[in-house]
Chain A
Amino acid sequence: MVDPADFPILSRTVHGNQPLVYLDNAATTQKPAVVIDAMDAYYRHSNANVHRAVHALAGEATDAYEACRATLRTWFNAERVVLTSGTTEAINLVAHGWGRAVLNEGDAIVLTEMEHHSDIVPWQMLAKERGIEVRYVPVLPDMTLDMEAYEASLEGAKLVCVVHTSNVLGVRNPVERIIERAHAVGARVLLDAAQGAPHTRIDVKALGADFLAVSAHKMLGPTGIGCLTITQAAFDEMQPFMGGGDMIEHVSLEGSTYQSNEHKFEAGTPRIAEAVGWKVAMDYLAEVDLEAEHERLLGIARWTAEQLRSLGCTVYGRHGDHDSAVVSFLHPGLHAEDFAHLLDAAGFAVRTGHHCAQPLLHRLGIDSTVRASFYLYNTMAEAEAFIERVTHVLARFGGNA
């Protein structure tokens, strides 16, 4: 594991004197001091706009910004990396930049019931505008995708959008098979890897993912930045989404021509300080044995799930070998919101609600869960303290639903 002392925020207390136990990592992760310091140093020493002026600071800022892209290109083994505000904007970029250029009335796209709203709503908006058919792959009672239904849905499909790892269940989908079958019918594939990328090293070339959407803040980086990796073939099919500075080659009153590289999709002054911070976060992650960490965190999640079940909770998820360390649960005697407030009273930060995945929760027959999600700095001792608190809360308040 990483040293929790690298993360300044983890030493604070909440509600007076309760030590913070941060278990809301699927929402956002904490930042190591090196990331915070790098962003601070950027603003103190190198701040300038990128890709424009010839002065020294502009050169430093441009180099730093492009270094983030280069790091991501290597990390994901990607042909193209467009920096976005996060996963949501990355998916919207596919909808607007690729979808509008390629999809026409009568075309079909395939989504799943497991998607985050960010991978549903942009497609519903485009479908309404373009008359595109949206097909949804159901989730089975064992909380996996119905792969038979998936294969049946592929006929005539132009695009498949699927979540790599569910933010609610932690279930890692069989993306290799999903991509292989989609490509067999000539469909492109977009993977929402907001939850997958922080937990496992994803090689988009090996996977064959045409598009991969990622958020920095879920993998130790700053908020406000993410990326979309794109294969060159898919990149060539895209048209610009937003117009403005940085994306143009030449502008006249009669018309404009655009950059041919990733800048074409990065209109306006980009997130420079955030790119600086993300690059440092990626360098920090590169020093972590993610495979070993995956084993360790999954072990904590499995133990936590088992304890919760023994306390009468229903756990939503299966914690298979490749799933992420997310534990979603409910107790029949205590409403999820009440549960989360009572955990928070003792310093345990968890998420509650629909997790921006209402169709999935609807399929599961519930409208919210309590979700504890573990990351690199979490310890078994924290999981034990968490279960101790859950036990206490249920003993005192568990007959109240």
Chain B
Amino acid sequence: MVSEALAEVLEEFEAIEDRTQRFELLFDLADDVTELPTDEWSEGNRVKGCQSQAHIDVRVEDGLVHLRGGADARIVQGLMGLLSLGMNGQTVDVARQVTLDIVEATGLLNSLTPSRSNGFRTMYDMVMSTMGEA
């Protein structure tokens, strides 16, 4: 099972018909990202393949996942927010339940450019591989 917070927000997306309102919700999710200060943005934590500037840092401490990130485009940071809801502060087992399908569940996937989708995939892979090493 994914975290309750993520399940709730995915239900919210499903309930919204209007595309602009869905973007509004995604924008709001950007605030759910624990900030990775820009002075910690490095080549190592850069999300490659993303059209905008995006950085993500993930650590596992005492079995819990800690995710921080930041992006110059609000939509990208919103997607990070979605990941955060499913992963941040969760056990590795719970965090691993998050799949790439969550982007599609926002109902906005069609408008995401291939490089944006690739960017999300890269972001997701970065997080998953770090958890794999933990």
Q: Which positions in A face B, CB cutoff 8 Å?
A: 15-16, 334-338, 341-342, 344-346, 353, 368, 396-397, 400-401
Interface string of B51-95 (1 = CB under 8 A from A): 110000000000000000000111110000000000000000000
- Interface SS of chain B: helix
Are A338 and B111 touching (Cβ within 8 A)?
Answer: no
Q: Which residues of B from 32 to 65 have beta carbons under 8 Å from A?
A: 51-52
Residues of B within 8 A of A396 (CB): 20, 24
Are B19 and A338 touching (Cβ within 8 A)?
Answer: no
Residues of B within 8 A of A337 (CB): 51-52, 73, 75-76, 116
Q: Is B27 an interface residue (CB 8 A)?
A: yes
- CB of B90, distance to nearest CB on chain A (Å): 27
Residues of A within 8 A of B19 (CB): 15-16, 345-346
Residues of B within 8 A of A400 (CB): 27, 30, 74
Residues of A within 8 A of B124 (CB): none
Are A335 and B52 touching (Cβ within 8 A)?
Answer: yes
Interface residue count for B (Cβ, 8 Å)? 17
Known: A337-B76, A345-B19. 20 other contacts (CB 8 A): A15-B19, A335-B52, A335-B72, A337-B73, A338-B27, A338-B74, A338-B75, A341-B23, A341-B111, A342-B20, A344-B111, A345-B20, A345-B111, A346-B19, A346-B20, A397-B24, A397-B27, A400-B27, A400-B74, A401-B72
Residues of B within 8 A of A401 (CB): 72, 74
Q: How far apart sit A334 and B27, CA to CA, in the bound complex (Å)? A: 11
- CB of B51, distance to nearest CB on chain A (Å): 6
Are A397 and B111 touching (Cβ within 8 A)?
Answer: no
Q: How far apart sit A400 and B31, CA to CA, in the bound complex (Å)? A: 11
Interface string of B91-125 (1 = CB under 8 A from A): 00000000000000000101100001000000000
Q: How far apart sit A122 and B52, CA to CA, in the bound complex (Å)? A: 26
Residues of B within 8 A of A334 (CB): 74
Q: How far apart sit A342 and B19, CA to CA, in the bound complex (Å)? A: 9
| Residues A335 and B74 in contact in the complex (CB < 8 Å), given A15-B19, A341-B111, A353-B51 | yes
Residues of A within 8 A of B30 (CB): 400
Residues of A within 8 A of B24 (CB): 396-397
- CB of A344, distance to nearest CB on chain B (Å): 6
